[in-house]
């Protein structure tokens, strides 16, 4: 890895990770690495950099592989590989640690770098970005426009899509983001560079480890950001700094996506302006919010997103609004009453409880009978374990669970006597018993060493573990041993 001499514009070419990359190091002060949006060259960061230099900040801008004048990878890499290239670039420039600002795609890369090489990042700024897969999705029209680099090649195409892609001031004046120049179009991404960046971000997510980022972090998001909508999560709460955000994610087995937030119409879709098409109720709250209770009504049928948009858009101002109740999804009272309660035990101790009551006839299929086979198809070694209440062990096993922890049995072991445990084993048996004649009661007295594939003493009764062949064989052997006593 090496760095070549800079010219009078601060441009430096470095050899890093087998590529020749163009960088720009300008100003004097604490170093700040700038990672820009997908397809953007370092020229687009120049106006922003000029506002930082008087503040004692040195800026480091980089043309990502395949953008600007940087070489592209021979073979596309995932986000982890891109972060490794950024590390090698910092090595070539002689920086051990920097502050880091990432915008849009650059914010995704910044998250990956802060997680992958935390010692290289002092402080972190994430602007107009998100956690990737599992986060708030962008509008399909925005994603479609992002799929092509034409906005870096054609000024006319940029002007047609600027409002859709960037929101804010671009809605009134698309040229406002051009910074009075044509820098956007001087170095468009290469033919292979732009698709490689799309490949890197496809399927990427930071949700499993985002909470582990420990650098001081500033998150910037505008009021009009097409990539993220501003609605709160359903029945959501957070701490005073919004570092911990908690909300519901529901699925009725019919919708094409999770129900994570209220659905509503924009001004252009609702003929009477913006309008939320949901039914939810704030049932109770103390003045300090130390206790909260909430109810959301979730249809069992597929939520009619397209129908609500199309029908309301077609109606005039003199027509009544087309509401969710009018779509028919609540016919025959088929819906879920989802209750959520929060209670504060102390300043930093919040108890949350969520439960649901099914209204109307049950769905044709249960949730787990659909989810478990799909998860096992992708992850054959996945093991499903349920903590069962209300004597649901047998039901859960029929739905696909491997193991069921019998909560009622263990409560009796801890808090009740031997007669109660014996009655539980004899009277709450979820599997058919073999014909043991008059000696069946002796099965309730067995305390045996079930060390097959696991250690320790366990009190076992049929149905507690039935999915794995080894367990099934072992439990049958216990029954035979009991029959022979």
Alpha helices in 117-202 (DSSP H): 140-146, 155-166, 183-186, 193-201
pLDDT of residue 26: 93
Q: What is the pLDDT of residues 263-310, one digit of tens each?
A: 888 766 777 666 889 999 999 999 888 899 999 999 988 999 889 988
- Report d(CA 136, CA 71) in Å as an integer: 33
- Report d(CA 147, CA 38) in Å as an integer: 10
Domains defined for the chain, CATH in brackets: 2-230 (3.40.50.1820), 264-363 (no CATH), 372-483 (no CATH)
Contact 35, 62 (CB under 8 A): yes
Straight-line distance from the first to the last Cα atom of the chain, in angstroms, rounded to the nearest whole number: 76
Q: What is the pLDDT of residues 352-384, one digit of tens each?
A: 777 666 677 766 667 788 788 888 887 888 888
Output the average pLDDT for the chain.
76
pLDDT of residue 443: 36
**Banded pLDDT at 176 (limits 50, 70, 90):** low
pLDDT of residue 91: 94
pLDDT of residue 323: 92
Q: What is the pLDDT of residues 438-476, one digit of tens each?
A: 433 333 333 333 333 333 333 333 333 333 333 333 333
* Sequence-distant (≥ 6) Cβ neighbours of residue 88 within 8 angstroms: 1, 16, 17
**Banded pLDDT at 433 (limits 50, 70, 90):** very low
Bin 279: left if φ > 0, else alpha if -120 < ψ < 50, else beta.
beta
- Lowest average pLDDT, out of 110-114, 256-260, 386-390, goes to 386-390
- Active site members: 104
Residue 252 has pLDDT above 80, yes or no: yes
């Amino acid at each position: 890895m090496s760095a070549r001499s800079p010219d009078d514009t601060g441009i430096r070419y470095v050899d890093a990770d087998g590529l020749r990359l163009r960088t720009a190091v300008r100003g004097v002060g604490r170093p700040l690495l700038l990672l820009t949006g997908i397809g953007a060259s370092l020229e687009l960061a120049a106006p922003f950099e000029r506002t930082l230099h008087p503040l004692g900040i040195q800026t480091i801008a980089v043309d990502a592989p395949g953008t600007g004048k940087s070489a592209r990878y021979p073979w596309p890499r995932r986000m982890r590989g891109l972060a490794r290239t950024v590390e090698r670039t910092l090595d070539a420039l002689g920086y051990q640690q920097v502050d880091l600002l990432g915008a849009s795609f650059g914010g995704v890369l910044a998250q990956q770098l802060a997680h992958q090489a935390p010692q290289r990042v002092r402080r972190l700024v994430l602007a107009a970005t998100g956690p990737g897969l599992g986060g708030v999705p962008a509008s399909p029209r925005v994603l479609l426009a992002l799929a092509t680099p034409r906005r870096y090649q054609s000024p006319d195409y940029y002007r047609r899509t600027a409002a859709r892609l960037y929101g804010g001031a671009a809605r009134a004046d698309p040229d406002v983001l051009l910074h009075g120049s044509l820098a956007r179009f001087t170095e468009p991404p290469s033919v292979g560079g732009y698709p490689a960046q799309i490949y890197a971000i496809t399927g990427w997510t930071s949700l499993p480890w985002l909470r582990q980022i420990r650098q001081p972090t500033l998150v910037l998001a505008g009021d009009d950001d097409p990539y993220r909508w501003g609605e709160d999560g359903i029945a959501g709460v957070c701490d005073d700094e919004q570092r911990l955000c908690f909300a519901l994610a529901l699925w009725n087995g019919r919708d094409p996506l999770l129900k994570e937030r209220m659905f509503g119409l924009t001004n252009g879709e609702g003929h009477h302006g913006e309008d939320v098409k949901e039914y939810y109720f704030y049932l109770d709250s103390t003045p300090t919010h130390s206790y909260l209770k909430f109810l959301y009504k979730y249809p069992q049928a597929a939520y009619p997103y397209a129908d609500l948009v199309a029908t309301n858009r077609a109606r005039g101002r003199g027509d009544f609004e087309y509401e969710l109740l009018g779509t028919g999804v609540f016919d025959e009272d088929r819906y879920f009453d989802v209750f959520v309660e929060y209670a504060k035990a102390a300043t930093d101790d919040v108890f949350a409880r969520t439960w649901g009551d099914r209204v109307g006839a049950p769905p044709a299929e249960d949730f787990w009978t659909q989810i478990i086979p799909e998860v096992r198809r992708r992850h054959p070694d996945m093991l499903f374990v349920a903590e069962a209440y209300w004597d649901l062990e047998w039901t859960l096993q029929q739905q696909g669970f491997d193991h069921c922890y019998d909560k009622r049995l263990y409560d009796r072991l801890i808090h009740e006597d031997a007669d109660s445990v014996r009655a539980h084993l004899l009277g709450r048996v979820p599997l058919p018993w073999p014909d043991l004649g008059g000696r069946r009661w002796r099965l309730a007295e067995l305390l045996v060493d079930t060390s097959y594939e696991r250690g320790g003493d366990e009190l076992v009764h049929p149905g507690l573990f039935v999915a794995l062949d080894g367990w099934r064989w072992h439990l049958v052997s216990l029954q035979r041993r009991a029959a022979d006593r």
